[in-house]
Amino acid sequence: MAEITAALVKDLRDRTGAGMMECKKALVEAKGDIAEAEVVLRKHGISLADKKSARVTRQGLIGTYIHHGGQLGVLVEINCESDFVARTDDFKELVHDVAMHIAAADPRFIRKEDVTEDVMAKEREIARDRAVLEGKPEKILDKIVEGRLGKFYEEVCLLEQPFVKEATLTVGQLVKTKIAKLQENITISRFVRFKVGDVAAMEAGHESPALS
């Protein structure tokens, strides 16, 4: 076990923004391994974020991201509890990163619960028919379908997608790490993604269901 020095604690704090005592406890739990301590803090932060999820978010920012060349752009609204947090660099960074992620990953929905019934019915049908054609046994078809729907959620739901800057995190987990650090609930309310010439997609309703 590596010695838990003040310098090591400070290094972890600089990396994560967590408090000194939290960093020390995480390092003890991780036996001095700073990378593992970051994972410990992340898990604790996600647990803390879950406790704050019911709190009302009426402040926040509308962020933009325009890709190089001006052919692709995103507008996203992310909310928090106070104007003070909305003005912090951490919150601004989150808004920018989420807008950039949307530009790169092209999600169709914010969360799993936003996926419409008709889309879900179609995906279930496709997953089941594919499994049958592959000769999968009838008794495990439902399990296979659910597994493939999980993959579908990762592809089309913003909060389920691996974050483009750090694939070990989903966007939902990224938000939760910011909740833990800023001590306020944070929600992604709506977004729209524009691509030059992509008029047909907009007319077909290919945008965030939360956009109004």
Shared domain check, 10 and 106: no
Q: Within a domain: residue 47?
A: yes
Shared domain check, 139 and 45: no
Range of the domain at 120: 116-146
Q: Within a domain: residue 90?
A: yes
Q: How far is CA 17 from CA 20, 36, 110, 173, in A?
A: 9, 16, 27, 16
Asked if 181 contacts 17 with a C-beta cutoff of 8 angstroms, the reply is yes
Instruction: Give the H or E element holding residue 26.
Output: helix 20-29
Number of domains composing the chain:
3
Q: What is the pLDDT of residues 147-191, one digit of tens each?
A: 888 899 999 999 999 999 988 889 998 998 888 888 899 999 999
Q: Within a domain: residue 208?
A: no
pLDDT at 18: 67
Shared domain check, 138 and 34: no
Shared domain check, 186 and 98: yes
Q: How far is CA 69 from CA 73, 98, 100, 189, in A?
A: 10, 20, 14, 27
Q: What is the pLDDT of residues 39-93, one digit of tens each?
A: 887 777 666 666 677 788 889 999 999 998 899 999 999 999 999 999 999 999 9
Shared domain check, 102 and 76: yes
Shared domain check, 33 and 136: no
Shared domain check, 162 and 180: yes
Shared domain check, 183 and 138: no
Q: Within a domain: residue 187?
A: yes
Shared domain check, 106 and 128: no
- pLDDT of residue 212 exceeding 50, the answer is no
Shared domain check, 96 and 177: yes
Asked if 57 contacts 80 with a C-beta cutoff of 8 angstroms, the reply is yes
Residue 192 pairs in a beta bridge with 75
Q: Which residue has the tokens 């800057």?
A: 165
Q: What is the pLDDT of residues 77-136, one digit of tens each?
A: 999 999 999 999 999 999 999 999 999 999 999 999 999 999 999 988 998 898 888 888
pLDDT at 94: 97
Asked if 63 contacts 99 with a C-beta cutoff of 8 angstroms, the reply is yes
Shared domain check, 166 and 199: yes
